[in-house]
Amino acid sequence: MSFSVAVAGASGYAGGEVLRLLSAHPDLEVRTVTAHSSAGDPLAAHQPHLRSLAHLTLQPTDVEHLAGHDVVVLALPHGKSGAIAEELGPDTLVVDAGADHRLTSAQDWADYYGGDYHGSWTYGMPELPLAGGGKQREALRGTKRIAVPGCNVSAITFGLAPALAAGLVEREDLVSVLAVGPSGAGKAMRTDLLAAELLGSAHAYAVGGSHRHNPEIRQNFAAAGAPGTTISFTPVLVPFARGIHATSTARLTPGTTLAEIRAAFEVVYGDEPFLHVLPEGKQPRVIDTTGANTCLIGLAVDERAGRLVATSVLDNLGKGTAGAAVQSLNIALGLEEIAGLPIDGVAP
């Protein structure tokens, strides 16, 4: 059985990556692509690498063009998905790659985003361990509304959640510094994203706890059984097109060893097809996840500081956005979870 798909925001980076994955999916057929200012243009004018979908023309992003499909993926700017989603029927599987339906707290939405709050949907992070046992994967089965996680959120959550869930690290004084590629900011023209400004440089942004992914990270840790966490999270813009490298640290609880940390990660991720903990002493590289739906994790203990050091890398457009969307909708539709999703990266 083939499911029909419409992708809104198809001219952007996230929409383009969703389309790349769907183009090779054995059970999904892309029938409609939409955009805002680019409506009427051939898709190939904005996504020239998607040769198998070059026959498609961008339609206006409205309910008229999105309705009637089995699946609708909304790859729209934050604040733009909520109103459209409310007009789509309950039988349509709607996947929001933006932030509009991630947060369970209306106050968190008001504090970090502002504007109308449209409620929370089933969270699209299948591997998230849950308090009391099980994983978020079970909640995705049969759902009709999916909120795709933030890319920075995924990198940090994957790097710390197993240790927090097992009580091997303290909930306070979590720290994460991320090197982030500019594709995470989308295609909008911005001076700080120009090659002349970015190449040969690096700079932090959203410093001091102001990044919008902060409440979502804390929300995930609470779901994993560690409410009340405090985290200082600082992203740094660096000159690689796509990818995230997160270095996350946490104070060890007394007596915790690296062997116990590794055992906890193995329990949570050992059977996961897309989350791979590297051998002891090995650290992951961003380039090894390019184009793949994988997150690679390195673990170490800084004994002098008494801290866990977890490094996690992923492709912000892949596992960080589009890959998570396709993986989650596969589960919701009852398809093979790995369908259409690459495990191997692209090198060099």
Other C-beta atoms closer than 10 Å to the C-beta of 176 total 22
Which helix or strand (DSSP H or E) is residue 58 part of?
strand 58-60
**DSSP conformational letter for 168:** -
Structure tokens at 208: 């001091």
Task: Indicate which residue of 76, 95, 151, 156 is catalytic.
Answer: 151
Amino acid type, 69: H
Q: Which pairs count as long-range contacts for 138-144, CB under 8 Å and 24+ apart, including other chains?
A: 140/328, 140/331, 140/332, 141/331, 141/332, 141/334, 142/332, 142/334, 143/93, 143/332, 144/90, 144/91, 144/92, 144/93, 144/94, 144/332
| Distance from C-alpha of 234 to C-alpha of 211, rounded to nearest angstrom | 8
DSSP 72-87: EEE---TTSHHHHHHT
Hey, CA dihedral for 159, 164, 167, 170, is it positive or negative?
A: positive
Q: What angle do CA 45, 289, 120 make, to 5 degrees?
A: 75
- Please, are residues 236 and 256 in contact by the beta-carbon 8 Å criterion? no
The verdict on whether 151 is a catalytic residue reads yes
> Active-site residue numbers?
151
